[in-house]
Amino acid sequence: MTIHPTAIVASGARLGEGVALGPHAVVDADVTLGDGVVVGANVVITGHTTIGEGTRLFPGVVIGEPPQDLSYKGEPTEVVIGARNVLREHVTVHAGTARGRGRTVVGDDCFFMAGAHIGHDCIVGNGVILSNNVLLAGHAHLGDFVLIGGGAAIVQRVRIGAYAFISGLSGVTKDVIPYAYVIGHRGRLDSLNLVGLKRRGFNREAIRTLLAAYEILFAEEGLFRERLDRLTNEMGSDPLVRRILDFIAEGKNRPLLHPLSRAGLDPSTETDLLEAGV
């Protein structure tokens, strides 16, 4: 264990083996740091906070401060951060609220770039990447392997499904299905995250299956409920498609992000995308 002479560790804090604390780091009494956690200069870790092994906090990170919610009255809510995460300079993660989940949760193997903010009661999955200055409002829920571009803002309670990509500077106000690609100042559903899926090891057959499901779900003809029923009947047994269907079902009556207007993907375009190596 390495603790700089200027670091402040409150009585009661629990530090694992190999923890390193940099200059002027502050670790309060109800904090637990797993083995090998590295805490940079001027980091503040407070509240009821648990951070998993191998996580690295760069200078200026602040974890566990009270939520920015007027309902909060000092209840002992939590922050729980998993293993092997990287939080770059000035990332902030706020504690949960009593009327919310009571905790803010981050999974394993995430990478949060400088200035990103994770609001109260958020749930962030595994392998998530938040680029510089991404803002997650309270109660947002990000699935595994979501990637969000710089300066994007996610409205409170919005859910973003696994493997989705949100482009930089987008404002997302409705739920985003898994595998989706969202773009625009007022975020709109553009297509599937084809490049991201390829990089994550999805093969051509899997990508073609998801493209077909997207075509059914967001075709211009018919009611959405009718298209959803058709997708369930025709492709609901496929586990990749089932992730989309389950995401929609779990959202119940929550608003879902749709394309603004489209005439459907040209099959030749789909082939071109796949042949290009996406």
The residues annotated as belonging to the active site are: 120-121, 138
Encoded tokens for 232: 């369930």
Calculate ∠ Cα 193-195-200, nearest 5°. 90
Residue type (1 letter), 75: E
* Residue of 127, 123, 187, 111 whose CA lies nearest to 157: 123
Q: Is 98 in a helix, a strand, or coil?
A: coil
Calculate ∠ Cα 32-37-41, nearest 5°. 100
DSSP symbols for 118-148: E-TT-EE-TT-EE-TT-EE-TT-EE-TT-EE
Q: Note whether 118 and 49 are within 8 A (CB).
A: no
Residue 209 burial (C-beta neighbours within 10 Å; 0-12, 13-18, 19+): middle
Contacts of 157 (CB under 8 A, 6+ apart): 137, 138, 139, 140, 141, 254
For residue 79, how many C-alpha atoms fall within 13 Å in the half-sphere facing its CB?
A: 24
Residue type (1 letter), 200: R
